[in-house]
Every structure is written in structure tokens, then in C-alpha cells.
Amino acid sequence: MTHIASMIETHPDGAAGLDVTKLADCIAACTRCAQTCTACADACLAEDMVADLRSCIRLNLDCADLCAATGYILSRRTGQNLATVRAALESCIVVCQACGNECEQHAGMHEHCRVCAEACRACEAACRELLAVMV
């Protein structure tokens, strides 16, 4: 069991009707995506063709911020507002799609963009899976 799942299960409010595995997986995917997007933005800044990567950098940073925020919102179990959780998941899906699409355009030239696109797709899928099982 991961620390994330352990914290959910030991919290007095637990998962509040959510699938613990899907919730923990989504939190982990959001955290991984936030880190990966931050690192990709930094790698893009180090590229010689940095001016050509402005959109990618911006989307990396937007995605990192939204994924981190979504992971934090999902981690807080006390008195949660499901409308806020849904909105965070939906926003995360949108930004992960956009960032993944942008990074895929650069993946042939920049390995860090390929890795980032994969992380974005995984996070998008985890958010969709959690959203699908929310009541």
C-alpha cells in the first residue's frame, strides 16, 4: 500500500465514498505530472531553440500548477466539496490534454517533451477514471 492510500484510509473521513485506489492513483498521477511538467519547462528553457518552445513552456507551467492544485485538493478529505473536486478534475483533464498535445509536437526532437506527454496522458486518464466513479 502506498503512503497516499494509507493516509486516505487512516483519515477519520476516509475516502468519503470514493474508490481509495482510484483516488490514490489520481493523486499520485497529478503529483508526477506536476513534477514532470516543471522539469520539462526547465529543460525547454535550456534548449538553444527556446523561443520556439514558448507555448510548450507556458503549457508546462500551467499544467504543473493545475496538477499540483488538483493533487492537493484531492488529498484534503475533511469537509470536501464534490463540486470543487469535479471542477478541479475537469480542469486538470483539459490542461493535461493541451500540454500533452503540445509536447507531442516536440517529442521527436526533445526527449523531455516525449516523457512529459506520457505523464500528461497518464494524469488525464487517472482524472477521467476518478471522475467516472464519483457519485
Q: What is the 3-state secondary structure (H, E, C) of the chain?
A: CCHHHHHHHHCCCCCCCCCHHHHHHHHHHHHHHHHHHHHHHHHHHHCCCHHHHHHHHHHHHHHHHHHHHHHHHHHCCCCCCHHHHHHHHHHHHHHHHHHHHHHHHHCCCCHHHHHHHHHHHHHHHHHHHHHHHCC
The model's confidence at residue 9, banded by pLDDT at 50, 70 and 90, is confident
The pTM score is: 0.94
Number of structural domains in the chain: 1
Distance CA 93, CA 121 (A): 9
Biggest CA-to-CA distance, the chain? 51
pLDDT mean over 51-62? 97
pLDDT digits (tens, 9 = 90+) for 92-130: 999 999 999 999 999 999 999 999 999 999 999 999 999
Q: Is the Cβ–Cβ distance between 37 and 99 less than 8 Å?
A: yes
pLDDT value of position 10: 82
Give the domain range for residue 122.
Answer: 3-11+19-133
State the CATH number of the domain containing residue 82.
1.20.1270.360
C-alpha to C-alpha distance for 122 and 77, rounded to whole angstroms: 23
